[in-house]
Amino acid sequence: MDILYVLIPLSVGLVLLVLLALWWAVYRGQFENVDQEAERILRDN
């Protein structure tokens, strides 16, 4: 089980990376106009 001593710090780093991805998504406006994007596929062009 010694591998846990590597995996736990690794998971902490992973969490920070995920947070970075979320930050990117929020500030690029990925969560705004959610409904509108869902309807886009129903449009012809």
Partner 1 sequence: MSKPFSVPVFPAPLPQTPGAEGNGASNAADLLDDPAEWPHFGRPLAGAQAGERWESHLVIEGMHCAACALTIEDALRAVPGVEQVEVSSATRRARVLWNAGLARPSQWLDAVRKAGYRALPAVDVAAREQRLRENRSALWRWLVAGFCMMQVMMYAWPAYIAQPGDLSLEMEALLRWASWVISLPVVLFACGPFFSSAWADVRHRRISMDLPVALGMGITFGISTLGTFAPEGLFGREVYYDSLTMFVFFLLTGRLLELRLRDRTAGALEALMNRLPDSIERRGSDGGFSRVALRRLVQGDVVRVLPGEVFPADGSIVAGNSRVDEALLTGESTPRWRTVGAQVSAGSVNLEAALEVQILRLGPDTRFGEIVALMESASLQKPRLAQLADRVARPFLVGVLLAALGALLWWWPSDPQHALMVAVSVLIVTCPCALSLATPVAMLSAAGALAREGVLVRNLQALETLAGVDTVVFDKTGTLTHDRMALAQAELAPGWTQAAALGLAAALARHSLHPASRALVAAYEAMAPGASPAWEVLDASETAGRGISAQVRPAGSTDVPRAVRLGSAEHAAVERPDLDGVQVSLAWADGPQAGRWCAHFALQEDLRSEVPSLLRALAAAGIGVQVLSGDGSASVARVAERAGIAQWRGDCTPADKLEALRALQARGRRVAMVGDGLNDGPVLAAAHVSFALGSAVPLARLRSDFVLLSGQLRLVGQCGLLSRQTMRVVRQNLWWAAGYNALCVPLAVVGLMPAWLAGLGMAASSLLVVTNAARLARTLPPLHAASATPSLPVAAVARA
- Point out which residues bind partner 1 (CB under 8 A): 1, 4-5, 8-9, 11-12, 15, 18-19, 22-23, 26-27, 29, 31-32
Q: Which is nearer to partner 1, 16 or 41 (CB)?
A: 16
Distance of CA 5 to the CA centre of its chain: 26
**Distance between CA atoms of residues 13 and 36, nearest Å:** 35
Three-class DSSP category at 18: helix
CB of 4 to partner 1, least distance (A): 7
CB of 3 to partner 1, least distance (A): 12
